[in-house]
């Protein structure tokens, strides 16, 4: 039987990585085989593209960025996500296609439909079964990311407030359009409250 595919989405510092780890640990306690991964990245090829996108100081157009995120995703889906699901494992992925739709498509102004088309062959029918959207106000997320990383602010984090607001609005719109796939969670709550809510949602929707 195919495993379940869960993605976590939201702005920077929303708590996605923290909650991905807690959810994976909780599922493993119950005997579920879990693969934890993240985007961009997750395979050697996708990690090399991640370095180009997030760490190297190479100026890129929005179109080039969107194609690179999709290229990383194609490798990640084909070499890691799809095989794991086929083996019955659950895959928990920190960011996936909705990030590209929100960052490059909506906030980056390429257009959500254009970005969706670029990603069509990268993911095929490998859409998430459940997408957990962690909502925070911009300040909370940025404060958490800065407290964690100190001065290490990558070029996505450094973008202006209006860009992050456009990202947040896009995520809200996607969740409203696809309520069966998305669950919206208040990421401003403390870590254990958020984790408990996620466990309830996963139990209700997937178990």
For residue 40, is the peptide bond before it cis, meaning its omega torsion is within 30 degrees of 0?
yes
Residue 15 interacting with ligand Z5A (CB under 6 A)? yes
Residue 157 interacting with ligand Z5A (CB under 6 A)? yes
Q: How far is the CB of 29 from ligand Z5A (least distance, A)?
A: 20
Could you tell me which of 7, 14, 31, 3 has the C-alpha nearest to residue 187?
A: 14
Residue 16 interacting with ligand Z5A (CB under 6 A)? yes
Residue 148 interacting with ligand Z5A (CB under 6 A)? yes
Site string for ligand Z5A, 67-106 (x = CB under 6 A): --x-------------------------x---xx--xx--
Residue 40 interacting with ligand Z5A (CB under 6 A)? yes
Looking at the Cβ atoms of 84 and 122, the one nearer to ligand Z5A is 122
Q: What is the DSSP string of the chain?
A: ----EEEEEESTTSSHHHHHHHHHHHHHHTT--EEEEESS-SSHHHHHHHIIIIIS-----HHHHHHHHHHHHHHHIIIIIHHHHHTT-EEEEES-HHHHIIIIIIITSS-HHHHHHHHHHHHTT---SEEEEEE--HHHHHHHHHHHHTT---TTTTS-HHHHHHHHHHHHHHHHH-TTTEEEEETTS-HHHHHHHHHHHHHHHH-
Those residues whose C-beta lies under 8 Å from the C-beta of residue 33, and which sit 6 or more positions away, are 3, 87, 88, 89, 90
Q: How far is the CB of 31 from ligand Z5A (least distance, A)?
A: 25
Looking at the Cβ atoms of 85 and 168, the one nearer to ligand Z5A is 168
Looking at the Cβ atoms of 2 and 193, the one nearer to ligand Z5A is 193
Residue 171 interacting with ligand Z5A (CB under 6 A)? no
Tell me the window of 7-15, 79-87, 122-130, 172-180 that interacts with ligand Z5A (CB under 6 A): 7-15
Site string for ligand Z5A, 50-69 (x = CB under 6 A): ----x--------------x
Binding stretches for ligand Z5A (CB under 6 A): 10, 12-18, 39-40, 54, 69, 95, 99-100, 103-104, 144-145, 148, 156-157, 190-191, 194
């Amino acid at each position: 039987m195919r495993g379940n595919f869960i993605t976590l989405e939201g702005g920077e510092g929303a708590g996605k990585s923290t909650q991905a780890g807690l959810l994976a640990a909780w599922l493993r306690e119950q005997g579920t085989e879990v693969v934890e991964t993240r985007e961009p990245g997750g395979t050697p090829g996708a990690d090399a593209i991640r370095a180009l996108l997030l760490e190297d100081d190479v100026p890129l157009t929005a179109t080039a960025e969107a194609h690179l995120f999709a290229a990383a995703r194609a490798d990640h889906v084909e070499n890691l996500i799809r095989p794991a699901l086929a083996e019955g494992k659950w895959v928990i992925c920190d960011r996936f296609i909705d990030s590209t739709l929100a960052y490059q498509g909506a906030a980056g102004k390429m257009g959500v439909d254009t970005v969706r088309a670029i990603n069509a062959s990268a993911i095929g029918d490998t859409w998430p079964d459940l997408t957990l959207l962690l909502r925070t106000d911009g300040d909370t997320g940025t404060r958490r990311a800065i407290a964690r990383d100190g001065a290490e602010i990558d070029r996505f984090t450094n973008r202006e407030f209006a860009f992050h607001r456009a990202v947040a609005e896009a995520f809200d719109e996607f969740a409203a359009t696809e309520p069966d796939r998305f669950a919206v969670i208040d990421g401003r709550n403390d870590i254990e409250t958020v984790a408990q809510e996620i466990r309830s949602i996963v139990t209700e929707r997937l178990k």
